[in-house]
C-alpha cells in the first residue's frame, strides 16, 4: 500500500471510530430507537450521505459496537479450557461473564432498548456463537462420563439462559451502570454453575 492509500485508510479508520464513539453515547443518552442516523451525522458535522459511506444502517453501527465482544468470545471458543472438569467449566463460565462485563459501556448503551436487543440477538443467532459455546460445554459434560447427552444439553441450556436472563435483569435494574460489582458477577457465576452441575435423584 502506498503512502497516499495509507493516509486515506487512516482517515477512514479514524472517522469510523468517531462514528462509533458518538453513536454509543447517543444511544446511551437518548436510547437506540430514538437516535437516528441524521442525529449522529449532525453531531459529527457530516452529511447523512457521508455517514452512509461508513455504515449503511443503524443496525450496522450497533453490530460494529458489538464486534469486540464477539471477537473476545471467539478467543474463548478457540482457547484451551477443558470443560470435562467442574473447575474447567467454571473457568469457562467466568471467562464468558467477564467478557460481557468488560463490554459494559456498550451493553448499557443499547441493551435496555427492545429494538436494540432484537437486533443484537439477530446478530448473535446468525453468528452461531451461542451454539458453539453450548456445544463446547455439552461435549465437556458428556466426556466427563457422569451424564448422557440429553441431560448435558438440558444443563447447558439452563446455565446459558440463566446468564442471559441475569444480564438482562442487571441492565434494567442497574440504572445506567456500566460495570457489574463483584457480588453480581459472583452470583451470576454461582447460578450458572449450579445449573451445569445439578444432580437430580430419580
pLDDT value at residue 112: 64
Give the pLDDT score at 99. 84
Other Cβ atoms within 10 Å of 83 Cβ, number: 23
Residue 5 has pLDDT above 50, yes or no: no
What is the mean pLDDT of the segment spanning 173-184? 76
Pair 20, 109: CB distance under 8 Å = no
Helix (H, G, I), strand (E, B) or coil at 150: helix
Q: 1-56: what fold?
A: Arc Repressor Mutant, subunit A (1.10.10)
Contact 124, 130 (CB under 8 A): yes
Give 55's contacts (C-beta < 8 A, 6+ positions apart). 19, 37, 61, 64
Is the pLDDT higher at 90 or at 68? 90
**Coarse DSSP helix, strand, coil percentages of the chain, rounded to the nearest 5 percent:** 80, 0, 20
- Asked if 28 and 109 touch (Cβ cutoff 8 Å), the reply is yes
> What number of CA atoms fall less than 13 Å from residue 120's CA on the CB side?
21
pLDDT at residue 4 tops 70: no
Return the H-helix or E-strand segment holding 198: none
Residue that the C-alpha cell 450458572 belongs to: 192
Global pTM reads 0.75
Best CA proximity match to 96, nearest among 136, 126, 125, 127: 136
pLDDT in tens, 43-52: 999 888 889 8
Q: What is the predicted pLDDT for the residue at 118? A: 75
pLDDT at 70: 82
For the chain, give the number of residues: 202
* Cα–Cα separations (whole angstroms), residue 155 to 78, 146, 192: 22, 13, 9
- For residue 63, is pLDDT > 60? yes
Coil/strand/helix, residue 19:
helix
The candidate with the shortest Cα–Cα distance to 37, out of 15, 52, 16, is 52
DSSP, residue by residue, 59-104: HHHHHHHHHHHHHHHHHHHTS---TTSHHHHHHHHHHHHHHHHHTH
pLDDT at 9 over 90: no
Q: Are 132 and 79 in contact (CB under 8 A)?
A: no
Model confidence band, residue 175 (pLDDT cutoffs 50, 70, 90): low
Amino acid at each position: 500500500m502506498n503512502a497516499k492509500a495509507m493516509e486515506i485508510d487512516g482517515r477512514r479508520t479514524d472517522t469510523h471510530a468517531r462514528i462509533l464513539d458518538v453513536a454509543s453515547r447517543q444511544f446511551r443518552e437518548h436510547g437506540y430507537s430514538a437516535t437516528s442516523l441524521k442525529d449522529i451525522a449532525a453531531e459529527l458535522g457530516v452529511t447523512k450521505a457521508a455517514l452512509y459511506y461508513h455504515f449503511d444502517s443503524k443496525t450496522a453501527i450497533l453490530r460494529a459496537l458489538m464486534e469486540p465482544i464477539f471477537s473476545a468470545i471467539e478467543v474463548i471458543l478457540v482457547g484451551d479450557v477443558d470443560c470435562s472438569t467442574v473447575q474447567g467449566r467454571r473457568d469457562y463460565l467466568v471467562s464468558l461473564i467477564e467478557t460481557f462485563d468488560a463490554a459494559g459501556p456498550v451493553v448499557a448503551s443499547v441493551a435496555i432498548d427492545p429494538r436494540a436487543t432484537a437486533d443484537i440477538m439477530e446478530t448473535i443467532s446468525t453468528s452461531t456463537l451461542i451454539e458453539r459455546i453450548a456445544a463446547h460445554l455439552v461435549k465437556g459434560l458428556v466426556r466427563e462420563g457422569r451424564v448422557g447427552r440429553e441431560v448435558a444439553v438440558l444443563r447447558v441450556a439452563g446455565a446459558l439462559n440463566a446468564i442471559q436472563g441475569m444480564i438482562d435483569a442487571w441492565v434494567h435494574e442497574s440504572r445506567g451502570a456500566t460495570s457489574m460489582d463483584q457480588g453480581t458477577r459472583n452470583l451470576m457465576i454461582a447460578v450458572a454453575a449450579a445449573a451445569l452441575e445439578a444432580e437430580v435423584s430419580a
